Every structure is written in structure tokens, then in C-alpha cells.
Structure 1
Amino acid sequence: MQNETITSGGVTAVEIKPVVSAPLKQRLYDWANSRLGLDEILHFAAKKTVPEHKHSLWYYWGGISLFFFIVQCFTGVLLLIYYRPGPDAYESVRKITYEIHFGWLIRSAHSWAANLMVAAVFVHMFSAGLMKAYRNPREFTWWSGLALLMLTLLFGFSGYLLPWDNLSYFATKVGLEIPNSLPLVGPKVAELAKGGPEVSEFTLQRFFALHVVVCPALFLPILVFHLWLVTKHGNATPPSEESVPVAKRKTIPFFPNFLMKDLAMWLITLNVLALCASLFPWQLDQAADPLKPAPLGIHPEWYYMSQFQVLKIFGNWFPGAAGEVVGMTVFTLGLVLWTLLPLYDNSSKNGKRARRGTYFIFLVIIIYTGTTLWGYAAL
């Protein structure tokens, strides 16, 4: 209430008026705004736009990759409630799969999301490369994205062993032969990962720590940094659109137009994941037995099949361990060239370097896809 003094004809009266306070919603917003700067965030969101053209579909793959990571975190926490690393690892996974209500679905969704996330990150990386999204000023966006890809592969490799069944055990043994081929540091890295000369329960403990502690601790800050760079620099315009005058280029507001489309893609992705997890549930093999011979056709996961096949190819060309050394050297050299691509094709002009960069990206796609299919065909 508010008092107001009124004087008339020498007589003073006090009129009491009610104080009209702001609505609760407005007061809560003002309270948060004064502490978090919400006005600045909303102002930035209102100004942010996204290029719209025939290649706009590729912009959604970064968000799809993020969606699969969120699913991994959610389902991973649920699995941790029942999973027991160590001697009881296989039995705990067996109970999750066959005894816990909907445990099979959570485990299947986690495994499918892992594989689909790797595929989405690859599509995102290759599409970003072909759209020249690594050029100035987006070099660090490219490098942080590449670091996220490496950690995603490490997530998949470390998590694959955790069920401790025959398939995961022998596939991990094969996979650890890849770093073992590196000269000098390779054998030490492989032994450090194993916790000894052979894959054992010590390896399982280390992979569990790597999967649930080390990888997330490295992944999350790099992801935040990557998203901040994407927000700061915006989405790159592909070379085919750079010839269009700036005034004639089409854009859409990020909020709410692009955000709603992005969420629609998440909904489609969720349906795809649900179909894969329910119609093709992730299987569990027999408990790991190091004394048994390896099953026929054992191989690493599909995203390591290219490296596996490259080592086999060079192993047939060169005698002894020289083939593996040459194969890993070639693969490492290709990774270095891929990392340095922003420094080579660093001009906005589509000249010789731009064309060579595009040819290099197509060459990597062809080699990676071809050697992966070759590896499966040779099993």
C-alpha cells in the first residue's frame, strides 16, 4: 500500500492507494537477469542467423552428434547402477541384459548410440571439410572437432571391452595390436593400456576408468570450447555460395527457426535409435575365456576396420613387423596432413589450394570407406 497526502481548503487528507507490483514471472526474470545477464543472451540469440541454401542439411549433423552424446550420458549413468567392473563384470552385464526390467533396452540404446555417434561425427567432419569450414577464422573449430573425434573413438574402444564377453575380449586384443605397431612408443602404450603383457582384468579396470572418468573429463571442456567457437563464428558458407553477393544470401534466424528444425532432427534421430535398439537388440556373447582360441573372423569395431585392413595390406607387402610399422606410419602421416589442412587451404579464394584440399578430402573418404569394406570382405 502507498500513502498520498492531499490538501484542499486547509484540510489535509491522506489517500491510501494500493501498490501495483510486477508479476511474479517478471520479478523472477529481473532477479535472474541481474545476475546472469539474460538480456544480453537473448539479444545475441535474436541477432544470430544461419545460412540457408541447398547444403543446409549438413549443418544438423553437429547437433545430431551432440544428441547421441547426451543419450550416451543418460543411458551410461543408468547402466552404472548395476554394472560391476572386475571379476563380476560379465555377470553384471548378463543380469542387465536378461533380468533387470528394460535393462536390455538401456544397454542396446547405449551401444547403438555409441556406433551412431561415431558415424554422425564422421559425417559432420567430412561435410565440414567439404564446405571449407576449417578456413580462417575457424581453424580452432576444426582442431577441437578433430580432438572430439579422437575422444569419441576412444570412448567406443574403451567401452567395447566392458561386457567382458568373448567377442569384446578378443576384439580388444586385436585392436591393441594397432598401437603396438608404432615404433618405440607403441609397445609401451599398448602395455600401459593392458596393465601388463596380456589383456586381463587389470585391462578391464583401466578401460572402465578410461571410459567413465578420463574420457568425459577431457571430452566435456573441449565440447564446450567447440560449441563456443561455433557460436562465435557461426556456420560456414560453402564455396558454392560464396559467389552469391552477401546482400542476396538467404539466412534464417537461429532462434526459433533453426533451433526448432534442429530439435525436429533430434526427434527423427531418437526414432531411428529407438528402432535400432528395439528391433536389433545388442547381443551378449559367452563369458571371456583367454584359454579358448579366438573365434573365426574376429576383428575390431567397424570404425577401426580401416586401420586394421591397412596394417594387413602393408603386412603382406613387407616382411615381418616392417609392414605394420609402414602401415602405421602412413596412417599417422595422413592424420597429420588432415590436421594441418586449415594451414594449407587458408584463403577464402577458391584457387589451386582449395581444389587440392577438396581432392584430399575426397581421397580420404574413398580410402577410409574402401579399406573398411575391404576389411569386412576379407573376413
Structure 2
Amino acid sequence: MTTKAITNAAYEWVDERLGISDLITFGKHKTVPVHSQTFWYYWGGISLFLFLVQCLTGVLLLVYYRPGAEAYESVRQITYVMHFGWLIRSAHSWSANLMIFAILVHMFSVYFMKAYRSPREFGWFSGMALLGIAAVFGFSGYLLPMDELAYFATKVGLQIPAAIPVVGPAIANMLRGGTEVGEFTVQRFFALHVVVLPAIFLPLLGFHLWLVQKWGNAAPPSIEALPKEERKTMPFLPTFLRKDLAMWLISLNVIALLASLFPWPLGKPIDPLAPAPAGIHPEWYFMSPFEMLKLLGNVLPGAIGEIGGLLLFTVGILLWVLIPFYDPNSSSGRRGRNAHYFGLVAVFALLATTIIGYWTIR
């Protein structure tokens, strides 16, 4: 019996039980729109790839990381003692930031292509939930090295939930495991980072990917307005998948270059009695709400300014998430234009407050 015959027999045995040929047939019949904005379709796949890098590098770090009082020492050993530990940690940190950036780009491309319209509303809602969880992933993971920068930045970041009226201080104390950031905070953030969030994120990601396969990629309104025979498409298998994998390869090279040339630093050990070092601030994806709290705090007195900034940001997020109900279909012309302008205002406000936040750091 030849090797080819053995391979064919094995494939037929697996295919009979798993239906691989049905998936291949589905992939060949599935098409992806081709137009001047097709490039933006790849950002969803890039986000998925970066999440897979997070999972792989996170498992490797988990082997040596010790939460609690020994958190800093374990990260120091990973960074300076373990073979290639610095590379794995740098790849994990860089891919985390790149993943949130890729999800944001994907979200804005979906928004401006009106891909939240019927029947894709649940794809929009699940995508927004994934972005929120990814941000919490970043916030919880930032503290785990428990160095000086992570310690004080987490204290600053917890000011945002603490500003919520009535329940805010209780939420902040629950996250900290007390009134101060310490080893109990690390343990809670570690459990949140490696158990709770993945348990929520993974099924939600599966649901989101299923919706994408069910409804396909949405084309911009200008393309959907064309007669069906004038719209260009390409098959998902192998054309789009091959290009998508090429984007994954480019992303892997970007991570490798950043991790190699700019290794993620480990700061000084914590000295709670020492003053906070200059330039402490939240991570870049939390800078906008933090700056809104600060700006309104300078205009309005005390807690009123903080609550006003938090309320303003919360209302903006709710309007953003609920946009499918305001602009449900292509027939809502005026609403569609208003939604487009609202998107431009949101982009400008996000960039402006982030830039101001970094500009005023001292």
C-alpha cells in the first residue's frame, strides 16, 4: 500500500467523522467583497492572531509566574534569568497593546462601513463586548509585574471606577482587595486575567466568529447600492484566506521586531513610602477617559467634575454601542449621515483627549 493511498484512506476516515470536505466546500462558496476598502477586512483576522499570540505567550509565562508577594521577583527571573524569558514577556506585552489597537481599527472600520446595520447588530454588540473585555485584560495584566510603574499606574487607573457615585468606592476596594494596592490586588488581578476573563472572552469570540461566517463581510453603502452583477468578490478559500494568513505573518514579524529591538522593561521594585515617580499615567487605551475626568475636574469643583467626566464618557459609549438602533438600514439616509458625523466626532474626541493627556504629563 503506497503512502498516497494511506494518506487518502486516513483523510476519508477523518472526513467521514468530522465533515472536513463540507467545510472546504462552504469556504469555496463563501465570498468576500472586493473594493477600495477591502484592506480593512483583514483587521479582524489580525486581532484574532494577536489574541492567539497572547494565549501562547501567556501560557509560557504562567509556568514561571508567581502571583502575590513574589510577583516582582518571579517576573525579574523571567526577564533576566530564564532563557528567552525576556523575549516571551516582551512578545506578550507588545502583542497585548497591538491587539487592542487592531480591535479599535477593526471597530472603526466596521462603524464607517455601516456593518452594524441589520442583520449584523449582534456582530456589533459582541464585538464591542470583546473590546471591553480586551481593555480589562490589559488593565489586569499591567499590574502583574508589580513594579513601581505598574503599582502607581494601577492606583491612578482605579480612580476611574472609584469616581462612580455610591458604588464606585466599593468596586475599587473589591478590585484592590482592600483600601490599598498590594499582594491581594495582584492575586485578584491574576485570577481575573487568567481565569475569569478567558472564560467569558472565548465563548463570546466563538459567537462573534460564527456571526461573521453566517452573515459574511458587509460592503460599504456605496458598493451595496450597485447592481449585484457589478459587485466584485473573491472566494474565501483560498484567495482571502491566503491574504489573511499573509497579514498574520506580517503581524508576527512586527511583534518579533518590537520585542527584539524594544524589550519590555521591568521597573524598580515597589517602595510604598516613596512618592509616585513623575509621569505616572494609565495605559494609552485608558488615557481618554482619564483625561476627560481630569479636564472636567479642572472646570467643575471636586467630585462633580469627576462624575461629570465619567458620565459624559459613559453616555458616549452607550450611544456608540446602540448606534444600530438609530441607523438600522440603508434607507435611513439622514440618520446614516448623522451617524457618520457622530463617528468622526468620536474619533476626534478620542484622539484629542489622548494627545492632551500625554502632552500634559509631568
> Which TM-score bucket, shorter chain as reference?
over 0.9
Please point out which of 275, 298, 305 is paired with 1:316.
298
Equivalent residue, structure 1, for 2:327: 345
Amino acid at match of 2:12: D
CA–CA distance in structure 2, aligned partners of residues 191 and 122 of structure 1? 30
Task: Give the letter for the 1:60 counterpart.
Answer: Y
Aligned partner letter, 1:219: F
1: CA distance, partners of 2:293 / 2:221: 36
1:192 maps to which residue? 174
One of 71, 74, 84 as aligned partner of 1:102: 84
Structure 1 residue 26 displacement after superposition: 2.7
Q: How far apart are 1:350 and its partner, in Å?
A: 5.6
Letter in 1 for 2:318: V
CA distance in structure 2 between the partners assigned to 1:358 and 1:32 by the alignment: 49
* Aligned with residue 173 of structure 1, among 120, 144, 155: 155
The equivalent of 1:93 in structure 2 is 75
| Counterpart-to-counterpart distance in 2, 1:333 and 1:243 | 33
Aligned to 1:264: 246
Aligned mates of 1:188, 1:113 — CA distance in 2: 32
Secondary structure at the aligned position of 2:302 is classed as coil
Q: Which runs of 5+ in 2 are unaligned?
A: none
Partner of 1:141: 123
Q: Deviations over 1:112-145 (max 9, x none)?
A: 0000111000000001000001000100000000
Q: Distance in 1 between matches of 2:251 and 2:21?
A: 32
What whole-Å deviation, never above 9, does each CA across 1:226-268 have from its counterpart, x for those lacking one? 0000000000011121222111100000000000000111111
| Residue-pair matches, total | 360
Question: How much does 1:225 deviate?
Answer: 0.4
Greater Rg over alpha carbons, structure? 1
Residue of structure 2 in register with 1:118 after alignment? 100
Q: Which amino acid aligns with 2:132?
A: M
2:251 maps to a residue whose letter is T
2:21, 2:360 → 1: CA distance? 59
- Farther-moved stretch of structure 1 (242-251 vs 322-331): 242-251
- The question of whether the paired residues in 2 share the 8 Å contact of 1:311 and 1:324 is answered with yes
* Aligned twin of 2:198: 216
Q: Which residue of 1 aligns with 2:227?
A: 245
Q: State how far apart, in whole Å, the 1-side matches of 2:88 and 2:24 are.
A: 36
Deviation at 1:75, TM superposition (A): 0.6
Q: Secondary structure at the match of 1:23?
A: helix
Q: Distance in 2 between matches of 1:347 and 1:133?
A: 10
Match in the other structure for 1:358: 340
- The one-character-per-residue Cα deviations of 1:80-129 (angstroms, maximum 9, x if unpaired) are 11111111110111111111111111111100000011100000000100
CA deviations on 1:175-194 (whole Å, 9 max, x unpaired) are 00001101122112111101
In the alignment, does 2:70 pair up with 1:68? no
2:134 maps to which residue? 152
Counterpart secondary structure, 1:251: strand
Please give the alpha-carbon distance, in whole angstroms, between the structure 2 residues aligned to 1:260 and 1:46.
13
Whole-angstrom distance in 2 between the partners of 1:171 and 1:278 = 25
Q: Given that residues 239 and 350 in structure 1 are in contact (C-alpha distance below 8 angstroms), is that contact kept between their aligned partners in structure 2?
A: no
Q: Are 2:264 and 1:303 aligned?
A: no
What secondary structure sits across from 2:263 in the alignment? Answer: coil
Partner Cα distance (1:143, 1:347) in 2: 16
| Matched residue SS, 1:73 | helix
C-alpha deviation, 1:297, in angstroms:
1.8
TM-score of the aligned structures, taking structure 1 as reference length: 0.93
Q: Equivalents in 1 of 2:5, 2:246: separation in Å?
A: 33
2:136 alignment partner AA: L
Q: Which amino acid aligns with 1:113?
A: S
Instruction: Give 5+ residue unaligned stretches, structure 1.
Output: 1-18
Match of 1:204 in 2: 186
**Cα distance, 1:33 vs structure 2:** 2.4
1:306 and 1:335 map into 2 onto residues whose CA distance is: 12
Distance 1:30 1:117 in 2: 38
For 1:24 and 1:136, how far apart are their aligned partners in 2? 48
2: distance between equivalents of 1:137 and 1:215? 28
CA distance in structure 1 between the partners assigned to 2:19 and 2:256 by the alignment: 38
RMSD, aligned CA: 1.4
Name the SS of the counterpart of 1:252 in structure 2.
strand
Q: Distance in 1 between matches of 2:270 and 2:51?
A: 28
Q: Within 1, Cα distance between the matches of 2:90 and 2:35?
A: 37
Task: Compare 27-36 and 80-89 and name the one that shifted more.
Answer: 27-36
* Residue 336 (str. 1) matches residue 332 (str. 2): no
Match of 2:144 among 151, 154, 162: 162
Displacement of 1:23? 2.5
Residues 67 and 266 of structure 1 are in contact (CA less than 8 Å); yes or no, is this contact kept in structure 2? yes
Alignment of 1:283-302 (within 5 A): 283-302=265-284
Aligned to 1:40: 22
Q: 1: distance between equivalents of 2:133 and 2:28?
A: 33
